Amino acid sequence: MIMKIHLPRFLLLDEVLLDGEGITFYDYLHRHVAIVPLPTIMLSRHITQCQQWVGQRHITCVPLSTKSEELAQALANLLS
């Protein structure tokens, strides 16, 4: 049996999850699942802290209060 795996084109992630931080989930995903870097938009209440997390990660930090049009533009920039 041949399995075909479909990887998402991007990840939209909140910095605060019910059981931990979004960055911890992102790192876990890349260590154990993702074959290639997964472009990610992280919705953040604390944009400065989010930007410090970015480092070598393929993450764009966006304020949680961002309007949908601005979020769509950030996504377009990330995927271009």
* CATH code for the domain of 57: 3.40.50.2300
Any domain includes 57: yes
How many structural domains are present in the chain?
1
**pLDDT at 69 > cutoff 80:** yes
Any domain includes 55: yes
- Provide, rounded to the nearest whole percent, the portion of the chain with pLDDT above 70: 96
Tokens of 11: 């990840």
Any domain includes 73: yes
Any domain includes 61: yes
Determine the pLDDT at residue 39: 86
Domain that holds residue 49: 11-79
Out of 22-31, 32-41, 46-55, 56-65, least confident range: 32-41
Task: Give the tens place of pLDDT for each residue, 44-57.
Answer: 988 888 888 887 78
Give CA–CA dist 22/5, Å, rounded. Answer: 24
